[in-house]
Structures are given as C-alpha cells and as structure tokens.
Structure 1
Amino acid sequence: MTVFDFTGRTAIVTGASRGIGFAVAEAIVSGGGNVVVTSRSQESADAAANRLGSAAVGVGAHAVDEEAARLCIELTLDCFGSIDVLVNNAGTNPAFGQVIDQDHARFAKTFDVNLWAPVLWTSLAAKAWMLENGGAVVNTASLGGIGFEENIGIYNATKAALIHLTKQLALELSPRVRVNAVAPGVVRTKLAEALWKDHEQERTNMIALTRLGEPDDVASAVAFLASDAARWITGEIMSVDGGQLLGDPRPFRPGACAEA
C-alpha cells in the first residue's frame, strides 16, 4: 500500500471494523496519523482499534444515530484536538433483489445508512472543526452508482445519490473543505460477497486487470484523496475498479480464441 503523510492529523472512519473501512484506518495510521474507528458495536470498534495500536480509538456508533455521531465528534476533539479527515465508509444493502420487490423498511434503511449518514457526519465534522480549520471528506460510493446491475438497484440508487451529494458538498464547503469520493468495483469484502463468492472466475473475466479488488486497493485511493497529494482536487469521483468499466478484456488478448 502506498503511504501518504498524515503526521499530526486525525481521521474519523465510519464503518471501520473490517473491510475497506479498516484498511483505510490502517493507511491513516501507517502515514503517522491518529484515527477514530466506528462500528455499530463498541466491542467490534475496540477490537479494530486494538489491532491498529495506540494511535487509534474505537467508538461504538451506529452511522445513523445522531447522538452517537455527536458524541464521537466530541470525543475525537477531546482525544486528539482536531478532525482533519472524515471518511464516510459505513454502508449496507438489506434490499437485495429486484427493485419492485422491496418494502419501505429495507428501502429506508439503505438510504439512511448509505446517504443520510454521510450528510449527518459531514455536517457535524464541518461545523465542529473543518469549516474553520480546513479538512478533507472522502465518501465511499460505488461503481454501481454510475451503472446498473441486477439485484442491487436500491443500493446503486443510494450510491448514485451519494455521488451527486459529494459534488454538491464540495461546492458548498469550498474552499476550506475538500469533498471527494471513491467508486469501488467488486471488492473482496463481506458486504459484496453476493456479487462474487460463488462465481469469482466469471467476475474476474470481466475485469481488465483480471482480479477482484482488495480492501487495500481502495484504501490507497482514499488515503490519496484525503492527503495533501490531492490538495487541488475536490468534487471528484475516483473509480477504483481494476478496469471493470472497460468491459471484458479477453477478445483483446493474444490467444483469446484458444482460451474461449
């Protein structure tokens, strides 16, 4: 993983007990920063923080719980004195299946976690620190937010909205706060298991770089956007997909006919 400099800086990463969120927290710590990792349970947040070492603190905070989010913001300032980076990574997808088969409860939960939570946490971090002192926000969107795929239509709709929201927030919070997003393709995480677990080879055949993404692949992109290396970048959506958007690369490879 490429290491970016976060010396003297503090990040909050939501949904960071595993997967992409944990890899992002690792990247921040590796770059010399402090990190507050959140998870729905205090136990899992503490476990993640213990794995990261003394530069990390775990906070049990469901992403849509406004009071828990406020307490996390206050604790971060009390412990470390700043909130320089916010990574809105928490996500969910209880609405798996066709759009017309979803009920309101699953629809609402998906939008609450994937869209409202980034608004909530960004608002709190901006008002508590970033608008006055500067900062960077990175949202975890999805390649699905710029495309279409069977069975995850509601999830993709939330990510499409998050992409738009990222650009809107980048405009509203400039020039003190930069707001960007990553749009991962299929990454080997628990949340995305339904997209690859039983047909991994079929999936990798459709990716130019011929493998699924790993959490570290996305974390490096997030760390870049959160760092000073991206100091003149805001309102951008970085696809991190191994070339998935390019389509099936096999017809362009030598010996492709023999492979088929």
Structure 2
Amino acid sequence: MPASPGLAGKTAIVTGASRGIGLAIAQRLVDEGARVVITARKAEALEAAVAELGGPDKALGIPGRADDAEHQADVVRRAVETFGSIDLLVNNTGINPAYGTLMDLDLDAARKILEVNAVGTLAWTQKVVGAWMKEHGGAIVNVASVAGLRPAPGIAFYGASKALLIHLTEELAVELGPDIRVNAVAPAVVKTRFAEALYTDREEEVAAAYPLKRLGLPHDIAGAVAYLLSDDASWTTGQTLVLDGGLTLSGGV
C-alpha cells in the first residue's frame, strides 16, 4: 500500500504492541510509512513482533512494564535516539485482572487497573510531550473501550478506568491544542487473547448481539487509529471513535 502523506517518515510509540490490537496498529503504521517503537513485558514476544514488522529499520522493541516510570523514560529517550522524533503516540496498554462485582473487587487490583489504564496513559503522554511534541507537535490516540461508555457488569472497574481515559482524552485535547491532537477509540469485543474470556466457546452467540453479526478483528481498530493519527484527521481532537459493529445501538456493551 502506498505511504500516507500523514504518516510517512514519522515515528510512533505504541505501547502493549507485541500482539493483538497493539501489533496490528504498529503494522498499519509501518505499512503507511511510519517507524514504530513498541513496548510489552516479554522480550521474546517483542523480538518476534519486530521481525514481523520488518526488522530494525522499521521497528524497535523495548521490554518493560507500561506503568514503570524508568521504562517510560527509556523508551522515549531511545525512540528519539534511534529514529530522530516522536511524532505519534498510541496508548494501547490496558489490563483487566479482575472479573466479578464491584463489591467483591480486590482493592489492590482496582488500584493496579487505574495505574496502568489511566495514570500510565497520562505518564506516557507527559513524557512524550516533554521530550518532543511540545516543541514539534504530534498526535496521540488512546485505546479505550465501549465499557467506558455505559455500565459493563463483570468488568465494571475496567469500564470505570476506560471512562476516566475517555475524559482524560478530552482534557488533554483542550490542554495540548493546537499543535498536539488527542483522540481515542472505544472498541467492543475484539478477537484477541486479551478478550478470549468474553467469547470463547460462544462466539456466534456473542456476535448475534452485534448488528454487523461479527466480533471485531485487530485490523478493524488499526485502520481507525491510523486515520486519527494522520493528517486526514487534522481538524479532529478530543473525540472518541466508537468501533463496535453497531453493538451500542442495540443497548449492548
């Protein structure tokens, strides 16, 4: 595919990108001419992802915990050293270690969810803006969820963290404009390892609630993120693009 004028030659950091949605986003950005710095916890998985993305000329993988401040600083520093800029940031990392009611939720798990899904996103944004975007501009996309738009029984606190992320997106868009755009995407269930518990052994039943009668695929999200990062979305900021196969139209989450 030809390189997009909005992405060619730019550098992106994509967190949580050794597989699933993050890797699909990284691949789409590379396909459109960008270079990517990807993060995840496991070094071996990152090495495989870098090879899939085209090797060290296209991608750099740096293992570490997404909520670790030293890891964040190292990624930002090495991105500039390796590729010369940080024009784009995709805050994709998210966790949901708990399933059940809020009354049964372990509060340490709740704190960890907030630390990674919301506070971590703010931390990555602060570091990237301070190191590059404040002087040069850029575009940021946060990966939220339809669970952040309405009640989501069973994953309620995860949904609350994503609601906070959506609000942070709006606040950051106001604060960082006009030279830095900040948007979000809110997917429904996408067929990844992260979401397997939501559809395994009952995919047809789950998909029946969607007007488009299928679950999402990682490339469905990747294309939307690439658009929001590109110059085609140059008059778009503070928005959350719902990517749900029509699910929320019928009252689902």
Task: Report the TM range for the smaller structure's normalisation.
Answer: over 0.9
Equivalent in 189, 198, 204 of residue 195 of structure 1: 198
1:63 is aligned to 2:92: no
- TM-score normalized by structure 2? 0.95
Gaps spanning 5+ residues in structure 2: where?
none
2:3–2:33 Cα contact (<8 Å) kept: no
Alignment match, 1:258: none
- Paired with 1:46 and 1:74, the residues of 2 have a C-alpha distance of 19
Residue in 2 that maps onto 1:40: 41
Distance 1:2 1:107 in 2: 44
Instruction: Please name the residue that 2:250 is paired with.
Output: 247
Does the Cα contact within 8 Å between 2:86 and 2:128 map onto a contact in 1? Answer: yes
Q: Contact 2:90 / 2:142 at 8 angstroms: preserved in 1? A: yes
Q: Distance in 2 between matches of 1:224 and 1:2?
A: 14
| C-alpha separation in 2, matches of 1:181 and 1:96 | 24
Counterpart contact for 1:85–1:136, Cα < 8 Å: yes
CA distance in 2, matches of 1:192, 1:148: 17
Map 1:98-117; keep pairs closer than 5 Å.
98-117=101-120
> Structure 1 residues 53 and 14, CA, compared in 2 at 3 Å: closer, same or farther?
same
Instruction: Give the conservation status (yes or no) of the 8 Å contact 2:227–2:233.
Output: yes
Q: Distance in 2 between matches of 1:60 and 1:204?
A: 34
CA contact (8 A) 1:85 1:135 kept: yes
Whole-angstrom CA distance in 2 between matches of 1:110 and 1:34: 29
Q: Does residue 8 in structure 1 map to residue 14 in structure 2?
A: no
Kept after mapping to 1: 8 A contact 2:79/2:86: yes
Q: Could you say which residue in structure 2 is the equivalent of 1:129?
A: 132
Among residues 218, 223, 240, which one is paired with 1:237 in the alignment? 240
For the residue of structure 2 that corresponds to 1:192, the secondary structure is helix
Alignment partners' CA distance in 2, 1:164 and 1:148: 16
CA displacement, residues 146-198 of structure 1 (integer Å, 9 cap, x when unaligned): 01122100100000000000000011111111000000011101111111113
Structure 1 residue 247, shift from structure 2 partner? 1.4
The equivalent residue for 1:251 is none
Pair 1:72-2:95 in alignment: no
Q: Please, which of 201, 208, 213 is the counterpart of residue 210 of structure 1?
A: 213
Question: Number of residue pairs matched?
Answer: 249
Report the Cα distance in structure 1 between the residues aligned to 2:11 and 2:88, rounded to whole angstroms: 6
Task: Give the conservation status (yes or no) of the 8 Å contact 1:45–1:58.
Answer: yes
- Measured against aligned partners, the alpha-carbon deviations of 1:70-100 in whole angstroms (never above 9, x if no partner) come to 0100000000110000000001101211111
1:140 touches 1:182 (CA, 8 Å); kept in 2?
yes
Measure the CA separation in 1 of the matches of 2:124 and 2:44: 21
Give the conservation status (yes or no) of the 8 Å contact 1:4–1:224: no
Tell me the residue number matched to 1:254: none
Structure 2 Cα separation of the partners of residues 154 and 198 of structure 1: 25
Q: 2:95 maps to what in 1?
A: 92
Distance 1:181 1:193 in 2: 23
SS in 2 for 1:191: helix
Cα deviation for residue 244 of structure 1 reads 0.6
Q: Is the 8 A contact 2:186 2:241 kept in 1?
A: yes
Specify the alignment match of 1:27 in structure 2.
28
User: Secondary structure of 2:193's match?
Assistant: coil
Alignment of 1:224 with 2:212, yes or no, is no
**% identical equivalent positions:** 48
Match of 1:184 among 173, 182, 187: 187
TM-score, normalised via structure 1 length? 0.93
RMSD: 1.6
Structure 1: which 5+ runs fail to align? 249-260
